[in-house]
Chain A
Amino acid sequence: MRHYRLFIPLLYIALACVIIALATICMTTGAIDIPPSQVWAALTGGHVDNRVWSVIVTQSRLPQTVTALMAGAALACGGLLLQTLFANPLADPSILGVSSGAGLGVAAVMLASGGAVGSLAGTLSTVAGAMVGAMAVLALIIALSTVVRSNVMLLVVGLMIGYMASSAVSLFSFMGAAESVKSFSVWGMGDFGGVSLARLPYFVAITAAGLLWALLMMKPMNAMLLGESYCRNLGVNLKKLRVSVLLSTGLLTAVVTAFCGPVSFIGLAVPHMARLLTGTSDHRVLMPVVMLLGAAVALACNLLTTVFGEGNLLPLNVVTPLLGAPVIIYVIVNKRKIAYFN
């Protein structure tokens, strides 16, 4: 632990610099390049040479950048929590079907309301739908985890639940009105740009609450690494911890899924990147790094969606697997060399 003393603070600083740099690029580049000084002026209420710039910065780029930042941190944190809870390095909200569950909830709300998600009430009911769907899947998986002892089998069960949710979603789309089906399938591609400035405070407040909740669990999550009996012997209330992990992960996944769509691979890959970077499984070091790294990766993915120009934005879920899947393949290929596998 002693050799971390210098490395970890430096890592925090480096990650913060990367996030600031990526956020600056997100704010300044796009269909129209805006000089950083003008972006700054627009944000701080100073004099901006071009009125359109001011609107672009505050109405479009600011919400998108902040959303990417928070969503990345939230998804990565949810992945870390589930990987520790299930003692399985391949656990992740999207793999375990939690995102599909949230998607089912969103589909139910969207298609029932005829695609009217523009209003605040529509947004809140979408979030509530996602939350109910995500929680239902997580509760089902936790319940099954007492019967299915093997973690690999449990992942397969999660995949199956995900397929069932997707199939229900397909059924809804088949029966739904064309208008609402279109808005739902656009939602399904993932997008950090879907949160308007008016709704941004809600999104930030909910994700921040979820992240804070996760940070408060750093200590018992460490005990969890030793396995359930050791964890209990150290005085941890296991039942309470499980429920707490379930609720916080459900909250983080649901709110991101409701606002940005089912974003894949960030939750799975970022905890691995953070462990490789820090060389530890200690959550007191790992969890803040996972959040910062998740934010940075999400910003990078957001930037990559614009590689073909602002006119042809790539769907977010085209980019995230390209970044995430190689990390997982690297980790599996080098399993024997990597310390946190046994």
Chain B
Amino acid sequence: MDKSEKIRPCAVECRDLSIGHRDGRPLFRHLDLVLPKGEVTSLLGVNGSGKSTLIKTICGFIPPVGGEISIAGRRSCEYSREEMARTVGVVLTERGAEGGLTVYETVSLGRYPYTDFLGRMKAEDIAAVEQALEEVGIANKRDCHLSRMSDGERQKVMIAKAIAQNCPIVVLDEPTAFLDVAARIRTMELLRKISREGDRAILISTHDLDLALRMSDNLWIMSPDTGVIQGPVAEVVERGGLRYILGDDMETGRYASLYDTRR
């Protein structure tokens, strides 16, 4: 184990966090989580294990039931709406009515928290959008309507939006879900690249175990019994964390060892 990885500055730190919807019982209690800067962390878990609740809580869409989240060294409840928009950027599977916007217009929306009430772009805003387009590699399609793009390209546009938002933390909900194999690998490569280049903390929720093992730095595995198992990929695999997504029974349990030997 590389010691330096452990003391990397963290972007998000959850202490004694309980999550869940306000009306019901908390889904998880006493979570202590660390999201490191400059690295890609994959959040894995079976359906209904509370992945999206955790993600929504970290993004500030729903309040924590208990405990606290510290983002970039400050408690999340101290953030104003605008500060939060400049700190945590999201890429979701949700589709709106953005088909009539061009790539440039969509990425420009990432500058929303920085522009005046008419949304006028200053030189620095334009520069940030241009850089985001370059970083993701869709600058040549800037005038394309989103409706004319493939799912993979749309994903890239939304990632560029999050980069233009200039957030040190980017959270992606199943970014590879609708993509073919090549597009999945390209998306993960892109996320690795932007995590390194901007020292950004990237959190991905995914069902794609293979890609998560090969291309992310850390794993968060949600299991209803033991909470969240976290750490660098190799360490989590060594500790048998994969059991919680593959299951314990003979049929699927065998595959856990399969992934063990691969690393």
Give the B-binding residues of A (Cβ under 8 A): 1-3, 84, 87, 89, 216, 218-219, 222-230, 232-237, 275, 279-282, 284, 339-342
Contacts and interface: CB of A to CB of B under 8 A. Distances in A.
Interface string B107-118: 011101101011
A107 B102 CA distance: 45
Contacts of B105: 1, 222, 280, 282
A132 B36 CA distance: 54
B100 interface: yes
A340 B145 CA distance: 8
21 contacts: A1-B142, A1-B143, A89-B97, A216-B117, A219-B117, A222-B105, A222-B109, A224-B96, A228-B94, A229-B92, A233-B89, A236-B81, A236-B112, A237-B81, A281-B98, A281-B100, A282-B101, A282-B105, A339-B100, A339-B148, A341-B147
Interface in B165-221: 165
Given A219-B115, A226-B96, A342-B147, A235 B81 contact: yes
B102 A1 contact: yes
Interface in B147-161: 147-148
Nearest to B148: A339
A263 B248 CA distance: 65
A84 B99 CA distance: 12
Nearest to B143: A3
Contact of A226 (B84, B88, B98): B98
A272 to B, nearest CB: 11
A339 B147 contact: yes
Contacts of B112: 219, 223, 234-236
Interface in B103-129: 104-106, 108-110, 112-113, 115, 117-119
Contact of A280 (B94, B97, B100, B148): B100
A89 B106 CA distance: 19
Contact of A227 (B88, B96, B100, B142): B96
Contacts of B90: 229-230, 233
A339 B109 contact: no
A227 B95 contact: yes
Contact of B102 (A226, A232, A280): A280
Given A2-B143, A222-B119, A234-B109, A229 B61 contact: yes
Interface residues of B, number: 38
Nearest to B86: A235
A223 B115 CA distance: 13
Interface of B: 59, 61, 81-82, 84-86, 88-90, 92, 94-102, 104-106, 108-110, 112-113, 115, 117-119, 142-143, 145, 147-148, 165
A225 B119 contact: no
Q: Which of B88, B102, B113 has the most CB of A within 10 A?
A: B102
Q: Chain A contact residues: over half helix, strand or loop, or mixed?
A: loop
A279 B148 CA distance: 13
B168 to A, nearest CB: 14
Q: Tell which of B84, B100, B102, B117 has the most Cβ of chain A within 10 Å.
A: B100
Given A339-B148, A342-B147, A223 B109 contact: yes
Given A87-B96, A222-B101, A226-B106, 16 more contacts: A1-B104, A222-B119, A228-B94, A229-B94, A230-B96, A232-B61, A234-B110, A235-B84, A236-B81, A279-B100, A280-B101, A281-B99, A281-B100, A284-B118, A341-B100, A341-B147
B251 to A, nearest CB: 36
Contacts of A224: 96
Contacts of A236: 81, 112
A213 B90 CA distance: 29
Contacts of B101: 222, 225, 280-282
A236 B119 CA distance: 13
Contacts of A227: 92, 94-98
A189 B198 CA distance: 62
Nearest to B144: A339
The 10 closest A-B pairs by CB, nearest first: A340-B100, A227-B96, A235-B85, A281-B100, A219-B119, A234-B112, A339-B145, A342-B99, A87-B97, A227-B94
Nearest to A275: B100
Contacts of A218: 118-119
